[in-house]
Copies of this chain bind each other. A is one copy, B any other.
Amino acid sequence: MSRVIVQKYGGTSVASPARIWRVSRRIAESVRSGHPVVAVVSAMGHTTDRLIDLARRVSPAPSARELDMLTANGETITAPLVAMCLQAMGVPAISLTGLQAGVRTSGHHSKARIREIETQRIRAELDAGRVCVVAGFQGVTESMEITTLGRGGSDTTAVALAAALGAPSCEIYTDVDGIYSADPRVVARARKIAHISYEEMLELAAVGAKVLHPRAVELGELYGVEIHVRSSFKKGVGTMIVAQVPMEDRNRVRGVAHESNVAKITVRGVPDRPGVAAALFEPLGAASISVDVIVQNVGLTGATDITFTVDEGELAQAVALVQEANRQIGAVEVLSSGGLAKLSIVGTGMLGTPGIAARMFRTLAENRINIEMISTSEIRITCLVDRARAADGVRALHTAFELDVK
């Protein structure tokens, strides 16, 4: 078989019959290139939200299994509509549910993992000259139970199909035209990044760049599938997510990310003994509260301070759980504050380049932005700052690291 093109179209791209028509025209153009095409589609616009709203109106706490049965309809509505539209344009096409596309998953409802993709059916349809329009976000277990893949599910479906079909790349069509060096709504001179590495993309996603879910990026890295993030509304190339960025881009900060709505909790005077951190964080995990940056300073007195961040919307619940946990732990006090934001700089070349961290801290200081907390990975430095100064900080860092479009 000739090289398969795998494309994914998000909910905004298929939100109306007119947009489905536009997406279909783009698929038809790809077909004209002579390659077999697989198009993975999401639910139209707000369909999933509307289905979940229906669920809430019949049950205060719908089971994950039934929610999966319900929400899977979003994508199985879009897929036949796109297939019909292609047929109306004279392009042979067939829609496939997750089951028909061979997407086999674990049984973890609402957050299933893809176990394997049985490609016989898709290959047969492609061989017969048809575009396969696959309902994203869903699969089935061995016992024919319908599952959904959770956040970023359709992206994951697309990258997994590309891997299973031996496609060298996967095109993610979305409502932005690529990955930017900073949020263009904040930084007017943000630049579109031509190539970014999987690790850089993962770090950017972890600190607020929402374009692509980390699962899809990880899968791309694991199977060597390059991911092309591009606009479904505009022509032109977007951003390629690859293993190796071009040499000249390597020793650089690639982007500045920020995330607002951050709050922090500090547990002061934690007795320094094994099991304390587990006792602190397990109740938060059980309550599905996502804990982000964690910093621990071991002091000289046998006690330590642990600080971590949570989404500000979950602060009150998190503080209550931590205070509850502290009855066993016996730390001195639990402090919390909201109104914070995270600023991060990301780039694989960073740690090999001396002075990057210093330049970040100096830039913030020159702009009188106080740093409340610092956390680093190999290719990222994150500072917690006052939310009111976050946008200024992003712009200052973007300029300081020479990312501004000239």
**Interface residues in chain A, defined as those with a beta carbon under 8 Å from any beta carbon in chain B:** 17, 20-21, 24, 51, 54-55, 57-63, 65-67, 69-70, 72-73, 76-77, 79-85, 87-88, 94-95, 97, 99-100, 121, 144-146
Please state the number of chain copies in the assembly: 2
With contact pairs A51-B77, A144-B99 given, residues A85 and B58 touching in the complex (Cβ less than 8 Å): yes
- In Å, the complex CA distance between A95 and B65 comes to 9
- In Å, the complex CA distance between A82 and B51 comes to 13
Determine the chain B residues whose CB is within 8 A of the CB of A61 once the complex forms: 88
Give the distance to chain B from A195, nearest Cβ to Cβ, in Å: 36
Among B57, B66, B67, B84, the residue within 8 A (CB) of A17 is B57
- In Å, the complex CA distance between A17 and B50 comes to 12
9 extra interchain contacts, Cβ-Cβ under 8 A, other than A62-B84, A66-B94? Answer: A55-B84, A59-B88, A60-B88, A66-B95, A67-B80, A69-B79, A69-B80, A100-B144, A121-B144
Pair A69/B95 contact, Cβ less than 8 Å: yes
Give the distance to chain B from A88, nearest Cβ to Cβ, in Å: 4
Looking at chain A's contact residues, the main secondary structure is: helix
Determine the chain B residues whose CB is within 8 A of the CB of A121 once the complex forms: 144
- CB-based closest 3 A-B pairs: A17-B57, A69-B80, A59-B88
Give the distance to chain B from A81, nearest Cβ to Cβ, in Å: 5
Instruction: Identify 26 residue pairs between A and B in the complex whose beta-carbon atoms are under 8 Å apart, listed by A's number.
Output: A17-B57, A21-B58, A24-B58, A54-B77, A55-B81, A55-B84, A58-B81, A59-B84, A59-B88, A62-B80, A62-B84, A62-B87, A63-B87, A66-B83, A66-B95, A69-B79, A69-B80, A70-B77, A70-B80, A70-B84, A72-B76, A76-B76, A99-B144, A100-B144, A100-B145, A121-B144
Determine the chain B residues whose CB is within 8 A of the CB of A100 once the complex forms: 144-145
Give the distance to chain B from A205, nearest Cβ to Cβ, in Å: 31
- In Å, the complex CA distance between A135 and B83 comes to 23
- In Å, the complex CA distance between A145 and B124 comes to 14
- In Å, the complex CA distance between A73 and B100 comes to 15
